[in-house]
Chain A
Amino acid sequence: MKRHDVVVVGAGLAGQRAALAAAEKGRDVAIVSKLHPLRSHSGAAQGGINAALGKEDSAETHIYDTVKGSDYLGDQDAIEFFCQEAGPTVVEMEHFGTIFSRADDGSLARRPFGGAGFPRTIYAADRTGLALLQALWEHLETQSFTLYEEWDLTNLIVRDGRVQGIVAFDRRRGDFEELAAKSVVIATGPFGRVYARTTNAHSCTGDGVAAAYAVGAYLKDMEFVQFHPTALLESGILITEGARGEGGILKNGQEERFMTRYAPHVQELASRDVVSRAIATEVMEGRGFPGKYVHLELMHLGRELIESRLQEICDFCRSFAGIDPVNEPIPVMPAQHYMMGGVGTNLRGETNIPGLFAAGEAACVSIHGANRLGGNSLLETLVFGKQAGLAAAEFAEYAPAAVLHESDLEAETSTIRAMSNRTEGEDPQRLRSELQALMEGLVGIFRKPAELTQALSQVRALKERFSAVRVVDASKVYNINLTDALETGHLLTLAEVIVVSALARTESRGAHYRVDFPQRDDKNWMRHTLAQRTPSGPTLSYSSVAFTRWEPKERVY
């Protein structure tokens, strides 16, 4: 059995930043990741990272924009801290070696982003996530830590009221392993793969969030699912908001620039939920193209701009959709993109379980509230990754040695071995597809109570069938049939929480839109949803939103 002070699960930006913070404090740090760190989904983030660095900008306006963007559900104290940390965070990343795009005077270039009152999104062409991820990984090389690469988290061990370690599956050797740890940071990113159409990578199955939930952590605001307005029609591959930031426009099947009706002042640069609903409405009301989509047009921007500032998008359209955006419009539809919800934390990354921390998209502080602004997610990973790492390091400094028993490993592995020993049973990929289809159809942008109820019963039926899931691949080495099954289990767990939370919230706010309750209801619903596991399903409670200076107002762009 291996032993460390701090175990970070997930090696994207949040996980790496947490590991860096803990290692700098002198802790013995381990990073557990089901992918090589550079393969993490952070690398797919395109558009940029927000920081009020310009002379005409200020953290104040960044704070206000984020509060408003959250539809006033974001905790204002956390948002203030977050925005004040933004400038130093970006500068720190630049000093670590990030290669950002530059203005002519040599300073960091900035572009406008949806929902922002000022162009404050700092970027690296349209691969900002990749630039940050590489720089952070390379900087992390100057610290000492242990990497457990291609290990899938299966379970957290909690005993005597605190975290004692984790159990994970080593893909290469095909064995389950325990790691004893005084503190654990969950940074496993999103779980968009509960949906059929998502910009998420296939690996985004919320393993850490499900594991935290399983040991009693609160999952906060799970009903708030962000749909990105512009994803390629067939594949769900993200076309970054930066395309609209650079001047791209949306047209419906009647060649109308419809955003003028929905957001008269900023049109395509309204926040994501507004634009997604607009597109979904256009298509629902029959004004989409045959095949149910709208067009994103870049042609008027000219070849030079497209091929220099939007090179990745250009490549995507050409490679994945057979479309040349210099000459043709791009067929797009909204797709699940970001989970505002996650493991509930405070702004130090602490959860309700001593020794358990979370950061990044896997966590919910909440700074994004009911809807996230573009450019705030990359920032979140770094700001709260650091906080969680510091807090985890501090916890580990004073905590007694972790205690694991043989039975911890056995208990976990016997359930999973049963999957392989069955001679007949359910196919994990099949169960996953069915889940994705039902979530897509019933728990999407426009939510109806009858559909949510139906979704809940279908998810539960799938969970029932999952208890008989069968792994047919008998090999010990690199068994992704087995990891498929593990991931499907996590997705089912999280889907149930999403649906229950969505069913309960009888208002519309931010990304959560109830057709039967289309208005925001601050009187009854200015509160965070907390979901906690019970044997019969999630039980909900609520916590208050922190206000400092901004009174809730109607959100108009």
Chain B
Amino acid sequence: MATATITAEMDVFRFDPTSESKPRYQRYSLELPPHAPVLTALLKIREETDPTLTLRYSCRSAICGSCAMLINARSRLACQTPVGPEMERHGRIVIEPMGNQPVLRDLVVETEPFWRQYHRVEPYLKPDPLRPMPVGKETPMTPTEVKRFQETPRCIACGACYSACPAVTADPEFPGPMALAKLYRYVVDPRDGAHQDRLLRIQTSGLWLCLRCHLCTEACPKDVRPSERIRDLKELAIAAQGVTEPGSRHAVAFKDNIAEKGVLNEFKLARQSLGPSQLLGQLSQGVKIRRRKPELMKKPKPIDGHAEVVKLYELLDSDEEGTP
């Protein structure tokens, strides 16, 4: 088997808060086959050059979730990221600890906030006392129920999604993608009796702070696609409980707004979506914007074929049509 090697130039974040005042990047150069993972490179450095380089790792096979870190600014598992393509893209490999979490040392971060958000969503089965599981045998599951478990069981809680998310540190109320994907897993579990309660509580505990930017989905090494699970949660929440607070109100208001003319009535949206105190808060800003952009107050004309749009709403948006 061919073992042609490349030179991997690694710039590794080093920081020991007990003895250093600020972080630095240390350069290591190694010869490796291009498909060798970054983890192999880091362990080689530890073994041959610098045993003080500190990181978390265990299984090296992308199942334990220990080695998530920033590799050329992307949140990735080191054991699953080959050096060759990284060198091709950037000519060097910058290795840094995961984002959004305080650094304990070098590539090791404090994971307590991440686990705390996970525990916050109460990730355990709450059986329904009125529908107990069968004694002595498994709870049967229909193919539809099984299908909902396609993605979320793959999660290894590596934290790459949390590391990539722009919302988690902007707002501690936001549970982060992993916790929300985990909540989805319980909301679609037929053995769990607390679906309604979970949906109700998550709506006021940060569900609607998800920006749907999909950075988590791109970072996830296991194809859980957390942003899409969150989207499913949002739809389930509205279907189950209607409009309960700003996030769901805005989504439903927007949907209703479009039904009227087929295109957005911006000013009306503000009135439909915002509660009275929010609207008051937006008043001065609205005035500011309108001064430059008078179309803000414009009432749009209905689109050609508006009746078609109305018909689609009738067919697909009555009762709880929106359940995935």
Q: How far is the CA of A256 from the CA of B308 in the complex (A)?
A: 65
Q: How far is the CA of A35 from the CA of B65 in the complex (A)?
A: 11
From B17, B35, B52, B142, give the contact of A322 (CB < 8 A).
Answer: B35
Q: B210-243: contact bitstring with A at CB < 8 Å (1 yes, 0 no)? A: 0000000000000000000000000000000000
Q: Which residues of A contact B46 (CB under 8 A)?
A: 429, 480
From A35, A139, A479, A484, give the contact of B66 (CB < 8 A).
Answer: A35
User: Is there an interface contact between A97 and B61, defined as CB atoms closer than 8 Å?
Assistant: no
User: Is there an interface contact between A44 and B63, defined as CB atoms closer than 8 Å?
Assistant: yes
User: Is there an interface contact between A39 and B52, defined as CB atoms closer than 8 Å?
Assistant: no
Residues of chain A at interface, number, CB under 8 A: 65
Binding-face segment, A13-21, A99-107, A242-250, A264-272:
A99-107
User: Is there an interface contact between B105 and A477, defined as CB atoms closer than 8 Å?
Assistant: yes
Q: Which residues of A contact B146 (CB under 8 A)?
A: 102, 106
Q: Chain B's nearest CB lies how many Å from the CB of A384?
A: 21
From A38, A39, A53, A97, give the contact of B125 (CB < 8 A).
Answer: A97
| Any A CB within 8 A of the CB of B198 | no
Q: How far is the CA of A473 from the CA of B142 in the complex (A)?
A: 55
User: Is there an interface contact between B124 and A44, defined as CB atoms closer than 8 Å?
Assistant: no
Q: Which residues of A contact B57 (CB under 8 A)?
A: 202
User: How many A-B contacts are there with CB distance less than 8 Å?
Assistant: 151
Q: How far is the CA of A242 from the CA of B241 in the complex (A)?
A: 43
Specify the chain A residue showing the minimal Cβ separation from B133: A95
User: Is there an interface contact between B124 and A97, defined as CB atoms closer than 8 Å?
Assistant: yes
Binding-face segment, A60-68, A124-132, A521-529:
A124-132
| Any B CB within 8 A of the CB of A201 | yes
**SS class, residues of chain B in contact with chain A:** loop
Binding-face segment, B5-13, B86-94, B149-157, B298-306:
B149-157
| Any A CB within 8 A of the CB of B19 | yes
Binding-face segment, A1-9, A313-321, A405-413, A535-543:
A313-321
Q: B188-220: contact bitstring with A at CB < 8 Å (1 yes, 0 no)? A: 010110000000000000000000000000000
List CB contacts (< 8 Å) of B103-142 with chain A. Answer: 104-106, 108, 111, 115, 119, 122-125, 127, 133, 136-142
User: Given A127-B154, A141-B119, is A201 in contact with B18 using a C-beta cutoff of 8 Å?
Assistant: no
| Any B CB within 8 A of the CB of A291 | yes
Q: Chain B's nearest CB lies how many Å from the CB of A396?
A: 25
Q: How far is the CA of A473 from the CA of B185 in the complex (A)?
A: 43
User: Is there an interface contact between A478 and B62, defined as CB atoms closer than 8 Å?
Assistant: no
List CB contacts (< 8 Å) of A32-80 with chain B. Answer: 35-36, 38-41, 43-44, 53
Specify the chain A residue showing the minimal Cβ separation from B64: A39
| Any B CB within 8 A of the CB of A403 | no
User: Is there an interface contact between B123 and A38, defined as CB atoms closer than 8 Å?
Assistant: no
From A35, A127, A291, A433, give the contact of B63 (CB < 8 A).
Answer: A127
User: Is there an interface contact between B51 and A478, defined as CB atoms closer than 8 Å?
Assistant: no
Specify the chain B residue showing the minimal Cβ separation from A147: B115
Q: Which residues of B contact A238 (CB under 8 A)?
A: 61
User: Is there an interface contact between B153 and A131, defined as CB atoms closer than 8 Å?
Assistant: yes
Residues of chain B at interface, number, CB under 8 A: 57
User: Is there an interface contact between B125 and A138, defined as CB atoms closer than 8 Å?
Assistant: yes
| Any B CB within 8 A of the CB of A88 | yes
| Any A CB within 8 A of the CB of B1 | yes
| Any A CB within 8 A of the CB of B286 | no
User: Given A141-B119, A481-B52, is A91 in contact with B16 using a C-beta cutoff of 8 Å?
Assistant: no
User: Is there an interface contact between B51 and A427, defined as CB atoms closer than 8 Å?
Assistant: yes
Q: Chain B's nearest CB lies how many Å from the CB of A442?
A: 22
| Any B CB within 8 A of the CB of A185 | no
Given contacts A130-B63, A472-B51, A475-B54, 19 further A-B contacts (CB under 8 A): A35-B58, A44-B59, A95-B191, A97-B192, A99-B153, A105-B140, A107-B140, A127-B154, A130-B153, A172-B104, A201-B59, A202-B57, A235-B61, A316-B61, A429-B46, A472-B52, A475-B19, A477-B104, A480-B55
Residues of A within 8 A of B (CB): 35-36, 38-41, 43-44, 53, 88, 90-91, 94-97, 99-100, 102, 104-108, 124-125, 127, 130-131, 134, 138-139, 141-142, 172, 201-203, 233, 235, 237-238, 291, 312, 315-316, 319-322, 331, 427, 429-430, 433, 472-473, 475-481, 484
The 9 closest A-B pairs by CB, nearest first: A106-B140, A97-B125, A201-B59, A201-B58, A39-B64, A473-B52, A322-B35, A138-B124, A94-B138
A-B CB contact pairs (8 Å), 21 listed = A35-B66, A38-B65, A44-B59, A99-B153, A106-B143, A124-B153, A125-B153, A138-B125, A139-B124, A141-B122, A202-B57, A238-B61, A316-B61, A316-B62, A319-B80, A322-B35, A429-B47, A429-B51, A477-B18, A477-B104, A481-B51
